[in-house]
């Protein structure tokens, strides 16, 4: 019998991860209840018919019951009263990721980081499949690992789970042991939940904690501490410096005497370290250099991540709506250098330091068009660095930017802020940006 079979389980949160965990536990003979403060739409009736008990509870209470397992969805922070109550009751708590890993029969590799991990996961998966190695994405990237267990034949035996892991998932993960694990980068992010960069960094390093010496490898940028990597697990570094084990340099990833060309999306100084990591992990999995090079050349970027939408009257239009922090906007401006952009930025600010962008703003921005809640604060911080205008909404920003832009310019949406002041999410923001542009003329 597997470790979590036939349990009386309580799932905290009725989102994608919570419901995937509920379905897996139900399939494994358990009794399952899902609790949520606000049940999403028709899900209540749908999951009730599957045999899942759907419970509602307010913020300060947790349903009573003889539960012997609690699965915590990533949306539930450690400070939530439900976590405190579960601890007081002595209930065992795990993440959906840990639950899925317990049942996954294939191999798993994993990547965490602050920015760019979804693109890395996609490129890894696409290239593995190109090489004839069956692989699926999992985790924070679209489909929870529990759902992959249910949908893949024989719980994924013979299939590689290429898993994107968030800091939220790692809060309740202890035994997930990927063969290859990596931290892509660590930047100030989610500090509203984790409070300090140190706490956030410590959570990220948990991705290594259950790796086994002789069966696993850890990958890190040189500047990130190896603290948390188990003794005996080898560490390989990646980046752009001569001392990195895997090094991006002048359109190639170099490892010893081997040099693999990087063509396309990852071929720049900002994403070069990601290319080095991808090359390192694929090489460890036995993928030939020519297939890795082909994977880079054929890679199609995810939507809203420095996505070139086309051009309008000679103006290149780029959607980087996924840039929800100013660090991500900084990276976007570095990627277009030495060109200059008409930049649309703003939304809900996630940070207080608005000054570290000074160099990129003065070098790479023709004019900034500011939207959302952050517009006044960004205007005050940036008005002496570049031409700025408070536009308020996306349509106004696009209209004014296209009125000013000339052939050869770049129109860049890279907000540096969350989207929830005006949109349901970053994807909706990116879609609206495209619609506003296309209202002027079709993108070519």
Give CA–CA dist 318/414, Å, rounded: 8
Query: Would the pLDDT of 43 be above 70?
Result: no
Domains 8-91 and 98-298 share a fold: no
CATH architecture of the domain 98-298 equals 3-Layer(aba) Sandwich (3.40)
Yes or no: say if 232 and 214 are a contact pair by the CB < 8 Å rule: yes
Q: What is the pTM of this model?
A: 0.91
What confidence score (pLDDT) does residue 1 get? 47
d(CA 28, CA 7) in angstroms, rounded, equals 9
- Within 339-427, strands assigned E span 341-346, 365-371, 387-392, 410-413
Residue ranges of domains in the chain:
8-91, 98-298, 307-438
Lookup result for tokens 């909404």: 393
**Residue 153, number of CB atoms within 10 A of its CB:** 9
The class that CATH gives domain 307-438 is alpha beta
Q: What is the pLDDT of residues 336-384, one digit of tens each?
A: 989 999 999 999 998 888 888 999 999 999 999 999 999 999 999 999 9
| Distance of alpha carbon 53 from alpha carbon 75, whole angstroms | 20
Question: Where are the alpha helices (H) located in 42-116, listed in sequence order?
Answer: 43-49, 81-88, 96-103
Q: What is the pLDDT of residues 225-239, one digit of tens each?
A: 898 899 999 999 999
CATH classification for the domain delimited by 8-91, as one of 3.40.50.300, 3.30.70.3040, 3.40.50.1100, 3.40.50.720: 3.40.50.720
User: What is the C-alpha separation between 270 and 266, in angstroms, rounded?
Assistant: 8
Reported as a single tens digit per residue, the pLDDT across 57-87 is 888 999 888 999 999 999 899 999 999 999 9
pLDDT category at 188 given cuts 50, 70, 90 is: low
């Amino acid at each position: 019998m597997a470790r979590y079979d036939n349990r009386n389980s309580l799932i905290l949160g009725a989102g994608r991860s919570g419901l995937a965990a509920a379905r897996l536990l139900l399939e494994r003979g358990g009794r399952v209840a899902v609790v949520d403060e606000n049940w999403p739409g028709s899900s209540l009736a749908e999951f009730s018919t599957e045999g899942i008990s759907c419970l509602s509870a307010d913020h300060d209470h947790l349903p009573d019951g003889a539960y012997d397992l609690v699965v915590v969805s990533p949306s539930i922070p450690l400070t939530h009263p439900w976590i405190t109550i579960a601890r007081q009751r002595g209930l065992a708590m795990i993440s959906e990721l840990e639950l899925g890993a317990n049942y996954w029969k294939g191999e798993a590799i994993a990547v965490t980081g602050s920015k760019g991990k979804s693109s890395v996961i996609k490129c890894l998966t696409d290239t593995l499949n190109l090489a004839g190695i069956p692989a699926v994405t999992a985790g924070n990237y679209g489909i929870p690992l529990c759902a992959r267990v249910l949908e893949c034949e024989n719980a994924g035996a013979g299939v590689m789970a290429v898993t994107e892991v968030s800091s939220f998932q790692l809060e309740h993960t202890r035994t997930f042991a990927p063969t290859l694990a990596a931290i892509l980068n660590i930047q100030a992010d989610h500090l509203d939940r984790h409070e300090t960069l140190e706490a956030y960094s410590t959570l990220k390093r948990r991705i290594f904690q259950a790796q086994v010496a002789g069966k696993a490898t850890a990958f890190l940028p040189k500047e990130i501490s190896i603290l948390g990597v188990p003794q005996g697990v080898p560490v390989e570094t990646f980046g752009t410096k001569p001392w990195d084990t895997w090094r991006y340099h002048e359109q190639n990833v170099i490892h010893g005497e081997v040099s693999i060309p990087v063509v396309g999306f990852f071929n720049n100084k900002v994403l070069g370290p990601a290319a080095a990591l991808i090359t390192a992990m694929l090489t460890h999995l036995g993928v030939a250099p020519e297939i890795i090079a082909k994977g880079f050349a054929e890679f199609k970027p995810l939507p809203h991540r420095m996505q070139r939408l086309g051009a309008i009257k000679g103006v290149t239009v780029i959607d980087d709506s996924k840039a929800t922090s100013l660090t991500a906007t900084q990276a976007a401006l570095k990627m277009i250098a030495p060109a200059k952009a008409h930049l649309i930025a703003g939304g809900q600010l996630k940070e207080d330091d608005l000054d570290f962008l000074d160099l990129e703003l003065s070098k790479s921005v023709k004019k900034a068009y500011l939207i959302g809640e952050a517009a006044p604060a960004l205007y005050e911080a940036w008005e002496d660095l570049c031409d700025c205008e408070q536009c308020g909404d996306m349509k106004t920003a696009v209209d004014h930017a296209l009125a000013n832009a000339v052939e050869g310019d770049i129109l860049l949406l890279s907000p540096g802020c969350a989207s929830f002041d005006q949109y349901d999410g970053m994807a909706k923001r990116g879609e609206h940006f495209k619609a506003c542009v296309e209202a002027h003329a079709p993108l070519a």
